[in-house]
Amino acid sequence: MMGTFLRHHPGWDGQLVVIHDDGLCDNSRDCLTVAFPNITFETVSPELTTRIDQLVNSYPDLGRRGRRIYSLEVCRFDFDSLLYEDSDVLIHAPLDDLFERPEPFLAAPDGPSYTDCGRNPKSYDPVPHDQMRDDTLLTPFNSGLMRFDFQSGESSLPCTLG
């Protein structure tokens, strides 16, 4: 999580933001504030919560993945660049090459992509290559670690919930 990132980037002086729902208790918030004095906390917006609820109502198989969509909250922030990291990500080496790349958006492929699989667009379950259909998602990414560069000079990123 943030500690492993900071261990490999000791001179980093950016803003730390925790995006959370009502599951983040006061004790956890207090512990994080002591460990990371420049941390702020942002609750998931009601708009995104409503949209996720609508999505899960239409596609019940996605219910267990609802919190993964909280990463869309990065679109609310006004930063020149941003690194999004899930709370379960451990950084094992410096990410300098990630910050030096010119692309406006970078993310790793998700697990099934490494085995030439796609994803079912409704359930998001892995689809083996020999069972793919026209609607199979072929290039899904892992939203657990994403880098956004909003000042890259390329076209702006589509960050809208509408």
The pLDDT, as a whole number, for residue 162 is: 36
Q: Is the pLDDT of residue 155 over 70?
A: no
pLDDT in tens, 73-88: 888 888 888 999 998 8
Q: Is the pLDDT of residue 159 over 60?
A: no
The pLDDT, as a whole number, for residue 152 is: 60
Q: Is the pLDDT of residue 160 over 80?
A: no
Q: Which residue has the tokens 């679109």?
A: 75
The residue extents of the domains of the chain are 2-109+142-149
The pLDDT, as a whole number, for residue 76 is: 86
Structure tokens at 20: 């959370």
Rounded distance, CA 30 to CA 67, Å? 22
Q: How far is CA 148 from the centre of its chain?
A: 10
CA neighbor of 39 nearest in space, from 2, 12, 10: 2
- Phi and psi torsions of 64, nearest 5°: -75, -10
- Give the mean model confidence (pLDDT) for residues 101-116: 88
